[in-house]
Amino acid sequence: MSSREIRIAPSILAADFSALRDELASIEAAGADWVHVDVMDGRFVPNITIGPFVVDAVRRCTALPLDVHLMIVEPERYVADFVRAGASTLGIHVETCPHLHRSVAQIREAGARASVVLNPATPASSVEPVLGDVDQVLVMTVNPGFGGQKFIESTLSKIETLRRWIDERELDVDLEVDGGVGPETIARVARAGANVFVAGTAVFGAPDRAAAIAALRRAARH
């Protein structure tokens, strides 16, 4: 059966890293479902963030599942490290994986849920052959690399296509969106078919994080 459970996954890219333990406690208390962790290497994307060492520290600060988003070249070299560090879900960009089917199997064998991630310019068809082998598809709704960017509208039809395929085949695959997701955009991506919502600025930048998460969840239920 296809899963439509709504999950809000705040991205710690927008958190205060000098107080990471408090930031994690704050979103956990505010009702977050997952913690989204953005790993960037300065090669696949222009920005550099964190590695397995910090993921391990994050895991020790929260009971929430970690949704780890790898924006790195040759991600297969680091799958085992990130799963060992505590990734519940591990996402790899299709643009970085010439052997996508093998890399997805590698994630599951290591013991995590496998997620495949598409850049805004990458078509839905690039993941169609592995849809039955993954636990999640993540559609980037901004170009990866930075928080706080503007939502790209043209990604909506790709979300609709993927939702149709998932439902037609009755797959148990989550459809996640990431980038520029907030109070103004979440209803539209939910209507298009997404059920997992990454939100950095919209949660960590809000004066009341519990209210922000509750409002996102309400809007996502449309």
Active site residues: 38, 178
At 72 the three-state DSSP class reads coil
Binding of residue 91 to ligand DX5 (CB under 6 A): no
Name the phi and psi angles at 149, rounded to 5.
Answer: -95, 170
At 205 the three-state DSSP class reads coil
Q: Which CB sits closer to Zn ion, 33 or 178? A: 178
Binding of residue 13 to ligand DX5 (CB under 6 A): yes
CB of 13 to Zn ion, least distance (A): 7
Binding of residue 149 to ligand DX5 (CB under 6 A): yes
Binding of residue 88 to ligand DX5 (CB under 6 A): no
- For ligand DX5, the binding residue among 145, 160, 161, 214 (CB under 6 A) is 145
Q: Left, alpha or beta for 74 (phi > 0: left; psi -120 to 50: alpha)?
A: left
Residue 166: name the closest of 140, 196, 185, 194 by CA. 194
Pairing state of beta strands 7-10 and 196-199?
A: parallel
Binding of residue 122 to ligand DX5 (CB under 6 A): no
Query: Which spans of this chain sit near ligand DX5 (rule: CB under 6 A)?
Result: 11, 13-14, 36, 38, 69, 142, 144-145, 147-149, 178-181, 198-202
